[in-house]
Amino acid sequence: MKYKKLGNSDLIVSNICLGCMGFGDSAKGQHSWTLNEENSEEIIKYALEKGINFFDTAIAYQSGTSEQYLGRILKKYIEREKVVIATKFLPRTEDEIEKGISGQQHIETMLNKSLENLGMEYVDLYIYHMWDYNTPLYDIMEGLNNMIKAGKIKYIGISNCFAWQLAEANALAEKYGFAKFISIQGHYNLIFREEEREMIPYCKEKNIAITPYSSLAGGRLSKHYGESSRRLTEDKYAKLKYDLTEEQDKTIIDRVIEIADKKNISMTEVSLAWLIKKGAIPIVGATKTAQIDGMVKSVNAILTEEEIKYLEEPYLPHKLVGVMAQNLK
């Protein structure tokens, strides 16, 4: 494993982050394919053994059970200070707005619940999961800053936003002396590259860490045709994101397979090596220990400039999908 500093922070993280959306009670959330605690433990323990020290979860994942599993399992195997934990909070609900609960109160309540779920006193990275159009930005930034001052958060990140929103938030933070967002968790992979238009150039200019989710497009960039998995079959949300462009994306997936075969490495290694070459710290989920091996090997996989151009050349613009298409003002 290789390690690097996470943007403008002093956090040293593995160049692969283990995404924990696949862990949690399958009866308590959006996804039916998640692993129970025993199987989650096998994956997390193996990831630790392979040098992964960066873990990403969210209060929204399976009604908080992902956080609960992660916290309990890590406590068995490693000291708190040796891992970097990220979790995420959701916007205020309509009910909270009607009751007059402020953005600051909402953040404190959600953070306290996440800390309770994790069994931890602080999180290293607290992420604004999606833009809240119904809450003043000042309220969000001051609320997060207050939690940093309280010692419950080390740094803050943001997910599912436009570049102008990240720029506006950090400009406001600078004006008022609040903490700035040090990372962006956006939808980015070889078959969805819309982040390259504005977000990635902005983040590189400002040294904001790029930590993409859906790094393997829900398995589409890691499995040969005919291979399947429970997630590929049951993940309706991933189907919503990728099915409409399946034919358009096929050429790129074919090229991933071609390069993987030529170099005698896995599709996972090719797809993640491309992201790492772009300066990213990919967030990658796993439901089998063998998938961890592919993640770890990708850190040392080498793609030539010609191979990178070959992978990128067929890409055509995509419409926004997922959270970015649904969470609009």
For residue 196, the 8-state DSSP code is G
Tell me the residue length of the chain. 329
Asked if 59 contacts 110 with a C-beta cutoff of 8 angstroms, the reply is yes
Q: Which of 61, 69, 126, 155 is catalytic?
A: 61
Residues 6 or more apart from 164 whose CB is under 8 A from it? Answer: 198
* Whole-number Å distance between alpha carbons of 236 and 233: 8
Asked if 45 contacts 77 with a C-beta cutoff of 8 angstroms, the reply is yes
Query: Is 61 an active-site residue?
Result: yes
3-state class percentages of the chain: helix first, strand second, coil last, to nearest 5 = 50, 15, 35
CA dihedral 27, 29, 35, 40 (to 10 degrees): -120
Give whole-number Cα distances, 212 to 98, 209, 262, 303, in Å.
Answer: 34, 9, 26, 19
* Whole-number Å distance between alpha carbons of 50 and 298: 13
Beta bridge partners of 123: 153
Alpha helices, H only, 120-245:
137-149, 163-176, 199-206, 230-234, 236-242
SS3 108: helix
Asked if 69 contacts 39 with a C-beta cutoff of 8 angstroms, the reply is no
Q: What is the end-to-end Cα distance of the chain in Å, rounded?
A: 41
* Whole-number Å distance between alpha carbons of 176 and 60: 30
Nearest to 272 by CA among 186, 212, 182: 212
Residues assigned a catalytic role: 61
